[in-house]
Amino acid sequence: MPKVIAVLGVGPGLGLSIARRFGREGFTTALVSRTDTRHASYRASLGGTPTHTYAADVTDPAQLKAVLARITAEAGELDTVYFGPADATSGPGITPLTEAGADALRTPFEAIVSPAARLVEAVLPDMLKRGSGSLLFAGGLSGKYPMAMLGSLAPASAALRMYVLTLHAALRETGVYAGTLTIGGLIERGDIHREFTKQDHGFKVGTLDPDDIADRAWSLYNDREEAEAEFNAMAAV
């Protein structure tokens, strides 16, 4: 039976590149996004890769649990889960840390860290039972380096990064792998890249090729030694 990768938070940039890269290795892909608007185009772009698509908000505990159950029932046992957090700058946006209270910090945690932990809680027991599986996460460079412009988002990015690094260490002798992609820059073809480049912000942000990041994710999956791969297109860092 082909291995199955679930891509949670798939978009036209990195999420789709992850699916395409693992699909080339014979994986069945299960793509999850909040709406099914672009699912037909995603399936078409993956060519002959067996692909299942699902609409669910993975920040909602009930929807996350339900979609994971559907994937397992329809696509098969999960070998790998990739978690690409939704854009935590949506809603109230970023608040400078000099102005941020507890509520401003809580919102990114609830959009990024809590769903990641609930995902692990849902899929890790079965992985540990069989002694195999992989958990891949995408995080921001502000979780590693101080970046004042990302204000209230930075503490959640740091928490997600340390959560995954610590999980990697805790799983070292179990056969289960956890790793994170620490990303600084605009990912080409992605929604954020498209929106950002619509107007002049008075400063430039470097771009990253999602296919290059996906190749590195595949290397992390295969080698299973390194807990983190960094992609830094931020000239100031």
Q: Give the pLDDT band (50/70/90) at residue 90.
A: very low
If you average pLDDT over residues 95-99, what whole number do you get? 90
| Tens digit of each residue's pLDDT (9 = 90 or more) over 9-34 | 888 889 999 999 999 999 999 999 99
Q: Is the pLDDT of residue 49 over 50?
A: yes
Q: Is the pLDDT of residue 88 over 80?
A: no
Q: What distances in angstroms separate CA 60 from CA 7, 38, 140, 186, 214, one per listed residue?
A: 16, 21, 22, 26, 26
Q: What distances in angstroms separate CA 213 from CA 193, 206, 216, one per listed residue?
A: 15, 14, 5
What global pTM score does this model have? 0.90
Q: Give the pLDDT band (50/70/90) at residue 43.
A: very high
Cβ-Cβ contacts under 8 Å for 137 (sequence gap 6 or more): 82, 83, 84, 116, 160, 164, 178, 179, 180, 181
| Buried/exposed 77-103: b ≥16 CB within 10 Å, e otherwise | ebbbbbbbbbbbeeeeebbebeebeee
If you average pLDDT over residues 194-216, what whole number do you get? 69
Q: Give the pLDDT band (50/70/90) at residue 86.
A: low
CB 131 within 8 A of CB 77: no
Burial of 189: CB neighbours in 10 Å, binned 0-12, 13-18, 19+: middle
Q: Give the pLDDT band (50/70/90) at residue 212.
A: very high
Task: Delineate the domains of the chain, giving CATH numbers in brackets.
Answer: 4-232 (3.40.50.720)
Distance of CA 193 to the CA centre of its chain: 16
Please tell me what DSSP assigns to residue 90.
S
| Tens digit of each residue's pLDDT (9 = 90 or more) over 125-166 | 999 999 999 999 999 999 999 988 888 899 999 999 999 999
pLDDT at 85: 72
Nearest Cα to Cα of residue 3 among 159, 225, 221, 212: 221
Tell me the pLDDT of the chain averaged across its residues. 89
CB 130 within 8 A of CB 174: no
**What does the alpha-carbon distance between residue 7 and residue 32 come to, in Å, rounded to a whole number?**
6
Lowest mean pLDDT of 101-110, 150-159, 186-195, name the range. 186-195
